[in-house]
A and B are shown apart, each in its own frame.
Chain A
């Protein structure tokens, strides 16, 4: 892996290279060079198997971190190519021409994080959440609890308990309970 990292670092100016295990490396590459590097890794370094495309929302930095995880079936190693893109201008070059399953990942990332991949087949079609009209649901600032409270309602007569409070009452019934009660109990 060491010689591969040195070779690719020179060619693509890799940053923040981390060898997580003997067979797993993560590294950042510039957005403009990312698809070129993915293509190079597939065609010249034997990383012919595309394992995963993923995204991490670093909201505090205003960035999305895209991951292209490639596998080399001969050397049994994995290389994670990471790209930082602006949250405010979430657009990335499409890689659908490289592997047949990539358009599915890009379609999901468009729906879940709002990242656009112009030219990717069916990228605007709903994937998992058909008819969704709120903010992309996997972004860090999408509050699942708030959404549930605003969208659904508690069925009349149904009670729910805070697990910590409930167990404290069960286990230590003589101690006063200081934790806040649920809305419907107040």
Chain B
């Protein structure tokens, strides 16, 4: 809607209706319809945007999802509680650990066993979630620069992300899908020397943070294209259900870690960064500050967590576990915003219903479709990446 590349002479463009859509007559042959995706380097994940163009401006946009649909929620309904874990983590590749925590916490809460999770496990869960956020930001922050052809930052970020995946591998045995957080706690303690190796990686990331700041925020191309582009006005936040960094970049300070503290976040010292302009530049700036903050949080966690302790409380036999009838909604703050799970049980050994609430559900459809109207076609990728859209969490 708000775009500085907006052509000042509107006489040749369709007029806007009261509902914010444009009055487009496709039979007039003045418009071109093209598809962006589902496979395209500028698209986050496999998602397509059906665009109708008037000149080089978008006059209509429709998001199409379904290219990744594997029926995860349905499959989980037909499996034992513990069998839901390997399926659930694939609902969001960007930060799979978030799904582990949600499903573990839901089953613990509905069984009335939340107090059995040992303190050490709570710290390790917090560490795993922050490591997941860090590896996501190491892709996301330079990825935004990549949409404006500043590709070198992406290469730096991917290298450093791999180092964090190395730490995940030694902690959990796996690089991407960890299944580390399980009902009752976690699967293992920190390996010997883990903290030292993590500190080495964080030192490298400190250096990257300085370099990526110069690459992005001191760059005239990035500034001239990102400032004032794809603005989310403050009044859109509740109207569209916008969350996370997208909301904070528009001046609305919401963060589940602060608003409804879970795990050990109430014992950590941090203040979620915000901005006011709500454009691509602000969202990238907020994410860059989150990168700095996440590194600090991991250091705080490693300093405050005990050296030893139980990592898993007594839980029912996973093969014979039945949970009484009930329902809950558990949420956390992922790198993209509020990430929640509605979990319903019926007294049997399998969940009755599992419904994931990912931030992209609104960001990639209602918000993106509205935002792209009157946007220049060259800015579509940057807009989409700046919203951190993740299609798997839409189609589950």
Q: Which residues of A contact B (CB under 8 A)?
A: 18, 20-21, 23-24, 26, 48-52, 54-57, 67, 69, 73, 76, 78, 80, 99-101, 103-104, 126-130, 137-138, 142, 144-145
A24 and B395: CB pair below 8 A?
Answer: no
Query: Interface 1/0s, chain B 348-366, versus A by CB < 8 A?
Result: 0000110101000110011
B259 and A24: CB pair below 8 A?
Answer: no
Complex interface residues of chain B between 322 and 373 (CB less than 8 A to chain A): 326-329, 338, 340, 342, 344, 352-353, 355, 357, 361-362, 365-367, 370
B365 and A128: CB pair below 8 A?
Answer: no
User: Nearest CB to that of A132 among chain B residues?
Assistant: B66
User: Nearest CB to that of A130 among chain B residues?
Assistant: B66
User: Nearest CB to that of B114 among chain A residues?
Assistant: A21
Complex interface residues of chain B between 65 and 99 (CB less than 8 A to chain A): 65-66, 69, 71, 73-75, 78
Complex formed: what's the CA distance from A86 to B361 in Å?
27
Complex formed: what's the CA distance from A6 to B219 in Å?
57
Complex formed: what's the CA distance from A50 to B367 in Å?
14
A104 and B366: CB pair below 8 A?
Answer: yes
Query: Which of the candidate stretches B119-127, B200-208, B235-243 sits at the interface with the other chain?
Result: B235-243
Pull 25 A–B residue pairs with CB atoms less than 8 Å apart, ordered by A. Answer: A20-B326, A20-B327, A20-B328, A21-B109, A24-B328, A51-B338, A52-B329, A52-B340, A56-B353, A76-B259, A80-B327, A80-B329, A99-B238, A99-B240, A100-B239, A100-B240, A100-B241, A100-B362, A100-B366, A101-B241, A101-B362, A104-B365, A128-B394, A138-B74, A144-B71
A128 and B69: CB pair below 8 A?
Answer: yes
Query: Interface 1/0s, chain B 372-387, versus A by CB < 8 A?
Result: 0000000000000000
A56 and B329: CB pair below 8 A?
Answer: no
A99 and B66: CB pair below 8 A?
Answer: no
B74 and A144: CB pair below 8 A?
Answer: yes
User: Nearest CB to that of A20 among chain B residues?
Assistant: B328
B260 and A23: CB pair below 8 A?
Answer: yes
B327 and A128: CB pair below 8 A?
Answer: no
Q: Does B254 lie at the interface of the complex (its beta carbon under 8 Å from any beta carbon of A)?
A: yes
Complex formed: what's the CA distance from A21 to B105 in Å?
13
A127 and B361: CB pair below 8 A?
Answer: no
- Which A residues are in CB contact (< 8 Å) with B74? 137-138, 142, 144
B241 and A54: CB pair below 8 A?
Answer: no
B66 and A101: CB pair below 8 A?
Answer: no
B344 and A56: CB pair below 8 A?
Answer: yes
A128 and B78: CB pair below 8 A?
Answer: no
- Which A residues are in CB contact (< 8 Å) with B254? 73
User: Nearest CB to that of A145 among chain B residues?
Assistant: B78
What's the nearest-Cβ distance from chain A to residue B73, in Å? 7
User: Nearest CB to that of B341 among chain A residues?
Assistant: A52
User: Nearest CB to that of B68 among chain A residues?
Assistant: A128
- Which A residues are in CB contact (< 8 Å) with B361? 101, 104
The 5 A-B pairs at the shortest CB distance, nearest first, are namely A101-B362, A101-B366, A128-B66, A54-B355, A48-B238
- Which B residues are in CB contact (< 8 Å) with A54? 342, 353, 355
- With contact pairs A54-B355, A67-B342, A104-B362 given, residues A144 and B328 touching in the complex (Cβ less than 8 Å): no
- With contact pairs A54-B342, A69-B342, A127-B65 given, residues A101 and B365 touching in the complex (Cβ less than 8 Å): yes
- With contact pairs A56-B344, A80-B329 given, residues A51 and B241 touching in the complex (Cβ less than 8 Å): yes
A52 and B366: CB pair below 8 A?
Answer: no
User: Nearest CB to that of B366 among chain A residues?
Assistant: A101
Query: Interface 1/0s, chain B 308-331, versus A by CB < 8 A?
Result: 000000000000000000111100
B352 and A51: CB pair below 8 A?
Answer: no
- Which B residues are in CB contact (< 8 Å) with A126? 66
Complex formed: what's the CA distance from A48 to B247 in Å?
14
- Which A residues are in CB contact (< 8 Å) with B344? 56
What's the nearest-Cβ distance from chain B to residue A65, in Å? 8
What's the nearest-Cβ distance from chain A to residue B61, in Å? 13
- Which A residues are in CB contact (< 8 Å) with B241? 49-51, 99-101
Complex formed: what's the CA distance from A133 to B366 in Å?
26
What's the nearest-Cβ distance from chain B to residue A44, in Å? 15
Complex formed: what's the CA distance from A101 to B367 in Å?
8
B395 and A101: CB pair below 8 A?
Answer: no
Query: Interface 1/0s, chain B 220-239, versus A by CB < 8 A?
Result: 00000000000000000011
B240 and A127: CB pair below 8 A?
Answer: no
- Selected from B239, B260, B367, B395, the residue in CB contact (under 8 A) with A128 is B395
What's the nearest-Cβ distance from chain B to residue A112, in Å? 9
A24 and B329: CB pair below 8 A?
Answer: yes
- Which B residues are in CB contact (< 8 Å) with A69? 329, 342
Which of B109, B329, B367 has the most chain A CB atoms inside 10 A of its CB?
A: B329
- Which A residues are in CB contact (< 8 Å) with B109? 20-21
